[in-house]
Structures are given as C-alpha cells and as structure tokens.
Amino acid sequence: MIVMRSQEGLRRALADLSGTLGFVPTMGALHEGHLSLVTRARSENGGCAVSLFVNPLQFDDAADYEAYPDTEAADLGLLEAAGVDVVLVGNKDDLYPPGFATRVDLTGVTDGGEGGQRPGHFQGVCTVVAKLFGLFWPQRAYFGWKDMQQLCVIRRLVKDLSMPIELVPCEIVREADGLALSSRNRRLDASERAAAPRLYRGLCAARELWHGGERAAAALVQRVFEELGENFPGDYVEVRDTTDYALVHDPVEHGRIVAAARLGATRLLDNVSLS
Ligand code: AMP
C-alpha cells in the first residue's frame, strides 16, 4: 500500500494501477462501515484508493473539528489489511494552500436536513469532494446511505459538472443492537450509548407502520419521535426522496425516513428505506 501525504506524486502512484479505480473518501477514524465501502471498491475495480482527511471547510463548529478523532496509525493498518492500493493522508496546508479561493456550492438539494442544521457544511463537502475527484479521477466512488443527503448532493454535483464518475451507494452497517456505526459514537458515554439504539428502533417502528398501510408522513414522523422520547431530542425527522432529497408528500409511497437527533453533545444521523 502506497501512503501519500501530499498531492505531489499522487497521480504517478495512481498511474501504476491497472483497470478501473474505485475511490472511497473518508475523514478517518475508520470503522466497519467505512471498510464495507473499501471492500466493495476493492472487489469491483482493478485498483482501490482511499483518502483520510478531516476537511475543515465542512465544519460549522470549530470545537467539533478540533474534537474529531484522529486514529491515523490504526486506520492505515485497517486499510492495508483490506488490500487498499493507495491512500492519501490529507493535509490542509497542502490541499488548501494560500490563495485557494474556490468554493463549490449547490442549491436546492442542500436545503433542509443537514444543510439546514449546519450552515456551510455542504459547500465544504462539495469543495473537498470536487477537489478529491480532480486528484483521483476515479471511475467509481463509494458513499454510504448513512449520509443520505450527502449522497444526493454529490450525485447532483457529478451530474451537473458532467464528471464521468459512477457513484456507488452502500447500505448502512450497524452494531448488533441497530446503532449505525459512526466515528462520533465513541463520544457517547455509557448511558447515552444505551439510549442510542432508540433512533434506529424508532425508524424501524415507523417503517412497520408503513408496511401496515400508513401513508401519512406526519404519522410516520410522529412514531419516530415517540420512540426517541424526551431525553433524545430530534433535530428533524422527515421522509425524503432517494434521488433528489426532495420531501416526499402524502401519500408516502417511496423514499427513506431520515432522522437526526441529539444525545448530550453528540448528534446521531440515521435513515431506513421504505421498501
Ligand atoms: P466519514 O468518514 O464520516 O466522512 O464517512 C466516509 C464515508 O463512509 C461516507 O460515504 C459515509 O456515508 C460512509 N459511512 C459512514 N458510516 C457508515 C456506516 N455505518 N455504514 C456505511 N457507510 C458509512
């Protein structure tokens, strides 16, 4: 596995790979969710590349950025064991040198959801992803449904800018009790960790209602809030279209139920498919 710490030489390392390139952008602090994307990228392409970069542009909260876990040595061990060919360990001074002035901004699909809660977040995400796509120029890029709005936003970006990159959405990997794996889960204390699976339980309960014939979005949303209860405040619960992230109106016949909720200082995101 070749580990690059700057853009310099990256293209040469990639040029030595044969066949299609599958690319997995991450912010490190890797877990089985990330590794599921890597394994899939590995199996569907001749070469596999991963980026580890905590992108300052996408954090609206400096404390959240500072507190983001850094487990680089463990991450590199996991990627090597997974058979990754090339890793870029991103450095902000290298990727955003003095004079860097470009911002990539989308409208519509970034409204509401995480875009509504975290001003500037998707501008930061789109800027770094456009930059990483320019550096790696993969045939396929792998993203998790875990960040459903991000997936829809990047799909729009790739389409609008005519980038010849196939996006491959990957299903959410969970703990045995249903909690979606996330680098932020390690911030939960014991009682928060015990409460955290209520988010997925609520989403599953709403999906059960839907399977039973309920087609009113408000009833599905209400069911999730019931399961969360008072000590687990939801930022939002919505039914969203899987392609353009538009709100799905009654009668709800498709989409995913998406929720963000807070346990203490930690925000948890999750969603389930209505199918
Ligand atoms: P992050 O490092 O949080 O930016 O995530 C990098 C990629 O991994 C994104 O495409 C995420 O959607 C994906 N991802 C994060 N958690 C999971 C999970 N539990 N299951 C599947 N994919 C995930």
CA of 147 to the centre of ligand 1 (A): 7
CA of 34 to the centre of ligand 1 (A): 5
Spell out, as residue ranges, where the chain has pLDDT lower than 50. Answer: none
The identity of residue 4, as a single letter, is M
Taking the alpha carbons of 175, 178, 180, 182 in that order, is the dihedral positive or negative? negative
* β-strands 234-240, 256-263 pairing: antiparallel
CA of 219 to the centre of ligand 1 (A): 29
pLDDT of residue 150: 98
pLDDT of residue 21: 98
Provide long-range contacts, Cβ within 8 A and 24+ apart, for 155-158: 155/243, 156/106, 156/108, 156/109, 156/244, 157/104, 157/106, 157/126, 157/129, 157/130, 158/133
pLDDT of residue 24: 99
Ligand 1 shell residues, CB under 6 Å: 26-27, 33-34, 36-37, 143-144, 146-147, 170, 172-173, 180-183
Question: Annotated catalytic sites, by residue?
Answer: 34
Domains defined along the chain, listed by start: 2-170 (3.40.50.620), 187-273 (3.30.1300.10)
Residue 267 — φ and ψ, nearest 5°?
A: -100, 130
Question: Which atom of ligand 1 is nearest the CA belonging to 37?
Answer: 22
pLDDT of residue 44: 98
Quote the radius of gyration of the chain (alpha carbons, Å): 19
Q: HSE (CB half, 13 Å, CA atoms) of 263?
A: 21
Closest residue by CA, ligand 1 atom 13: 144
pLDDT tens per residue, range 173-197: 999 999 999 999 999 999 999 999 9
